[in-house]
Structure 1
């Protein structure tokens, strides 16, 4: 059965995070449906980090060049980041369940392609396909969660589970990558996705009801502009990390991408049937949630990348040790998630974002004190505990803020915006913060320092910058997000 709503009925069903007085009868299958939807969220974030530790083994087995190897990561980022916004809106227009299940199926096929790859080209095709699958499935899944849980307390709990699984997926990816690569084969880092992706295909049709907008068709010109613009901007950011900001290979895609996105905004403002209505960004809490997410995603992506390098290149960890080192992080992500699920309905997203990002900032600041002769117990463990706890608190709160007041009409759009911002933030962090580390390292090597000492000096400065980025994100939430009036009557079942 398909639920088709007009803009007027959609407006009547707008869900306010603090006001549940007019919420519709909840779907009795909603918690089981959440588990199905969350499986895809988990494997998407799992896949985002699981490849990193396996890259040297992949390069050795398939004969990648150093430049070609970057496309194992960049191909995924380009496809996902470029298509997420259009994917979210298309889910609204074509059917959210349909796109979610299609994306889950494509992710399984793409993962199998990557796992059996016999050449660099085949693996890169598989990674591009995985990115496209994320762009199709992730916004649709998050939109379905937002529409399934209309009660504020239940929605907070659902976002807590959703956001916690995202952080847990990222950390689990690092753990599994080290274990599977060291003990078996890098191919298992892709094969592990397949059974997880098949679960939604088996149970999704029984638990999820189709929903979409009525009377509108996709604006193909707008879709081409926003997709092409985002791909070009991300390509420019990724190229800047290797070629520098002044290189033509960096400036050309950045200029083209920005021009395409400006034209896209102009088209949306004048269109009677916009792909992305500009009114969506008028909600201050929603806009600020996405802004804070940029800070959180950029700092976290750089932190993960550099911490793994420090453990392997300076402390001498092998992939297995490097992966297992993140287990405490996983535990405290879950602790933060559980804490947020209980407090978010009472304190609102603003306070949770501020507290969570400040805790993560403190942990990242601790990493700026690493030394060349440090140990896991003194240099990594205390910081990873704080970063995990802060991330578990922050993730659900950011999603609650970014999807505040979302309606049936705009649920996929809101999810697409959120996931696009997250991808852009990750690309920005890997470009800017990692570039700072590499620049400091190069200068130290030129000054006669050892390779380990030079790398450590670069990591120290980069972690300091990442901690400042997180603190600025917390400040943006403190200044811009409206205060939530505590409601003692709201409780999570």
Structure 2
């Protein structure tokens, strides 16, 4: 067994899972046109993945402990690979969404197990520390790689290749894993299937309710039914977890105000982050006319800003403690979203998009390491995985929920703006444009650009509210001292959330 090959296999799995959170973003406008998604329904291409990934993440980690980490790791990779193949061949919107949900299941099984495999594959000391460093670097850089890869594959080949590209990588990982990674010792335990299903289905119902409301209104029967189902499922989840012998989400984790506060902050900031990526991708390609590759390059500065903020907070955390970084990070992130809310059809990239995105990214970077360390502060060693796993789940689920809320705001605002633009459009449109409008209900530029940007601008105002919730939580709830984090200062990189 060669340690270098083993680390390559583990890191490749993490890269594939992390990369898939962003590689699809750049292809969204092309997926929308090819499969006839509405703009609001298009958000499900992201949410279907993040909901199942976040909802089943802790169950995936538990499965590795009980059934053997290598076995579960390979199962997750094979599920993810099969789902990617199905997504690439999708001909209808529901087929793609089902494949994305299945991808999330595979990612939730493989990702936590890949991190745990490092501890069983590499001996404690410098060798394990180097492996954790590689894992953390892949987690941090995967988002940027995904943006570039998504742009290149979409422009040079086809949007379907953002899914097909995972197939040969997944097959190779599944082939090498049993040959270079030893199986871990199996530990007795129970699967909290009921907790995982009620939480995931409850959040999915909540997200569906918001997206449905954006198209059909708040009085729609299915909208109200979705919200009702969400309430019942989430209450059932709380009851299940309070009585389970081995709960997937230990509710005692929320008893500590600092830990509970970090989950709220991460959920709120992730909500703003997912919305920012979703809407700016649509803006730069549909309004500014960027090619997919240029759109991917346009987002790279955000990744640099996140890494810069994370590095700064990690160096200065022992001096100032976590709270100043949480407060400053939430405030700076909110400032970036507020700046983006001034977007309109005449906004240019450098003056109106790049600068606020850099501000946004730097603020997010200040929080990633800080939130991770605070989440595991004061936790017993055997529960550190659950505490950091909950933070990752909060990021994924918060992103899905926040995106659905922003999409609801976008749908209402853009629909109102479209009604204002219709008389002007019909008075000036050619017969061909009028015929196309009757079929799709979408107006071409410049009318369509005004409709899109009005919806985006209003959605970003809702994003400011989410960042404000994170700021208020940091100010009023967090009480952790810098001395509480001293023993944990070297663990942030490996366990941190996916940016």
Matched, 1:465 2:448: no
- Report which structure shows greater RCO (CA 8 Å, sep ≥6): 1
Is contact 2:46–2:400 with CA below 8 Å preserved after alignment? Answer: no
SS at 2:249 equivalent: coil
- The alignment covers a number of residue pairs equal to 463
d(CA) in 2 for partners of 1:105, 1:69: 26
Alignment counterpart, residue 112 of structure 1, candidates 82, 85, 104: 85
Cα distance in 2 between the residues matched to 1:105 and 1:346: 45
Aligned equivalent of 2:482, options 484, 490, 493: 484
Matched residue, 2:434: none
Q: Select which of 318, 335, 339 maps to 2:312.
A: 339
Q: Structure 1: where are the runs of 5+ without partners?
A: 1-28
Match of 2:249 in 1: 276
Query: Does 2:182 correspond to 1:217?
Result: no
- State the Cα distance separating 1:411 from its structure 2 match: 4.7
Deviation at 1:203, TM superposition (A): 5.9
Seen in structure 2, the aligned counterparts of structure 1 residues 220 and 327 have a Cα distance that, compared at 3 Å, is closer
The alpha carbon displacement at 1:433 in A equals: 2.0
What is aligned with 1:430?
403
Query: Which residue of the partner structure matches residue 369 of structure 2?
Result: 396
**Distance (whole Å) between structure 2 residues aligned to residue 145 and residue 352 of structure 1:** 30
Task: Provide the rounded CA distance (Å) in 1 between the counterparts of 2:334 and 2:207.
Answer: 26
1:305 and 2:305 equivalent? no
SS at match of 1:326: helix
Aligned-pair CA distance for 1:378: 0.8
Hey, what's the Cα distance between the residues in 2 that align with 1:357 and 1:164?
24
Give yes or no for contact 2:31–2:37 (8 Å, CA) kept in 1: no
In 1, Cα distance between the equivalents of 2:290 and 2:36?
23
The 3-state SS of whatever aligns with 1:369 is coil
Residue 372 of structure 1 contacts residue 452 of structure 1 at CA under 8 Å; is this kept in 2?
yes
Q: 1:443 Cα deviation (Å)?
A: 2.8
Equivalent in the alignment of 2:450: 453
Match of 1:314 among 256, 274, 287: 287
TM-score w.r.t. the length of structure 1 is 0.78
Of stretches 373-382 and 384-393 in structure 1, the one that deviates more from structure 2 is: 384-393
Deviation at 1:289, TM superposition (A): 1.4
1:289 aligns with 2:262: yes
Deviation, 1:301, is 0.9
In structure 2, how many angstroms separate the alpha carbons of the residues matched to 1:398 and 1:207? 31
Q: What is the CA distance between 1:85 and its match in structure 2?
A: 4.3
Which residue of 353, 359, 362 corresponds with 2:332? 359
Where in structure 2 are there 5+ consecutive unaligned residues?
Answer: 425-446, 492-499
Q: Distance in 2 between matches of 1:297 and 1:313?
A: 24
Contact 1:36/1:204 (CA < 8 Å) preserved in 2?
no
Q: 2:157 aligned with 1:184, yes or no?
A: yes
Q: CA deviation at 1:131?
A: 1.4
Check whether the contact 2:374–2:485 (CA below 8 A) recurs between aligned residues.
no
> How much has 1:132 moved relative to structure 2?
0.9
The residue number in structure 1 matching 2:25 is 52
Q: CA deviation at 1:148?
A: 10
| Greater Cα offset, 379-388 or 71-80 | 71-80
**Is the Cα–Cα contact under 8 Å of residues 214 and 408 in structure 2 kept in the other structure?**
yes
Q: Could you tell me whether the CA contact under 8 Å between 2:338 and 2:464 is conserved in 1? A: yes
Report if the CA contact (8 A) 2:25-2:277 is conserved. Answer: no
Aligned counterpart for 1:240 among listed residues 192, 213, 217: 213
Deviations 1:415-450 (A, max 9, x none): 542333222211222222232233233333333484
1:99-138 matches, cutoff 5 A: 99-117=72-90, 123-138=96-111
3-state DSSP class of the match of 1:372? Answer: coil
Equivalents in 1 of 2:131, 2:467: separation in Å? 25
Offset, 1:130: 0.5
**Inter-partner Cα distance in structure 2 for 1:339 and 1:364:** 21
> Which of residues 304, 318, 343 in structure 2 aligns to 1:370?
343
Return 409-418 or 155-164, whichever deviates more. 155-164
CA spacing shift, 1:84–1:184, aligned 2, 3 Å: same
Paired position in structure 1 for 2:496:
none
Q: What is the CA distance between 1:145 and its match in structure 2?
A: 7.2
Report if the CA contact (8 A) 2:121-2:181 is conserved: no
Note the C-alpha offset of 1:293.
0.8
